[in-house]
Amino acid sequence: MAFELDNIRKNVISCTRCELSKTRTNAVPGVGSVETGIVFIGEAPGRNEDIQGAPFVGTAGKILSEALEYAGFVREDVYITNVVKCRPPNNRRPNKQELESCAIYLQKELENIQPKIICVLGNTAFGSLLGGNEITKNRGKIIRRNAQLYFVTLHPAAIIYNPDLRQILKEDLKTLHGILDKIKKGMEIEINE
């Protein structure tokens, strides 16, 4: 499994499937551990991620780290990735073509990791993975699609623009920690969709 993830990482780093490869500094493959059985999925790298070649290492990353810690997760023990692996210029939202070209990498990551649950961070990941929108109305939901469980919450960057959302993200991740615990113990969880 680690070998295969390493292969995916190498393919991401050298990818030229879309125009973003021309403007990126570094492609940003997923990082972390698969042992916890959870994958966090954001939108796309921002400026700091593009420079460092790692996901969620800028301001949104700090917010994510804080929420993970509050919830009882160890950041290094979870897997963190994005739907799009290269930074869109000026941090615009990735377009349809970019999302489609990049989907293969996330698909391969998930096939290899086989997470017990996926945490969908924000509208772009929600739309791309589940066809959803209006994250503020849908956050906190547990969704099952094709035998895969998803938990939907806010994108950490939303907190930069609206600090009132910080506690909501933290509590959502705490709820998610409890859900993962229940899944691991074989207990029943309530699915919303």
**Contact residues for ligand URA, defined by CB under 6 A:** 42-46, 49, 55-56, 60-61, 82, 157
R_g (Cα) of the chain, nearest Å:
16
Q: How far is the CB of 82 from ligand URA (least distance, A)?
A: 5
Q: How far is the CB of 158 from ligand URA (least distance, A)?
A: 10
Q: Which of 123, 121, 129, 127 has its CA nearest to residue 146?
A: 129
Q: Which residue has the tokens 């930074």?
A: 87
Q: How far is the CB of 88 from ligand URA (least distance, A)?
A: 10
Q: How far is the CB of 96 from ligand URA (least distance, A)?
A: 17
- Identify which of residues 56 and 151 has a Cβ nearer to ligand URA in the complex: 56
In 42-134, alpha helices (H)? 47-52, 59-71, 96-113, 122-130
- Identify which of residues 133 and 192 has a Cβ nearer to ligand URA in the complex: 133
- Identify which of residues 10 and 47 has a Cβ nearer to ligand URA in the complex: 47
* Opening angle at CA 31, ends 167 and 139, nearest 5: 30
Distance CA 32, CA 35 (A): 9
- Which residue sits closest to ligand URA, CB atoms considered? 42
